[in-house]
Amino acid sequence: MVPNMLGSEALPRITAVAPTARVVIFTAYDDDHAALSAALHGGAHGCLRKDVTDTDLVAQSRRIVAGGPTRRSPKSWG
């Protein structure tokens, strides 16, 4: 969580100071396609729901760190 800032505001700041950082956006929403698209086009390497299971969080984190393709957690995002 970034205090006093939305993830969409934090993402460009993070990538500006750490361009090789593997950034994941966490969301509480299943159907915010515009936010997902903006995050991925803005440099995020993945997007997971805040209620992601421990098992899925570990699996996705490993995939992201390894530089592999990231499966998006919210089912409605495909």
Q: How confident is the model at residue 74 (pLDDT cuts 50, 70, 90)?
A: very low
> Which H or E element spans position 61?
helix 54-65
Helices (H) and strands (E) in the chain, counts: 3, 2
Contacts of 67-76 spanning 24+ positions with Cβ under 8 A: 67/22, 70/45, 70/46, 72/36, 72/46, 72/47, 72/48, 73/47, 73/48, 73/49, 74/27, 74/29, 74/30, 74/31, 74/36, 74/47, 74/49, 75/30, 76/30, 76/31
**Residue 65, pLDDT score:** 84
pLDDT in tens, 16-72: 999 988 888 888 776 777 777 888 888 888 888 888 899 988 988 888 888 865 655
**Residue 40, pLDDT score:** 82
Whether pTM exceeds 0.75: no
Q: Which CATH number describes the domain made up of 7-72? A: 3.40.50.2300
**Residue 69, pLDDT score:** 58
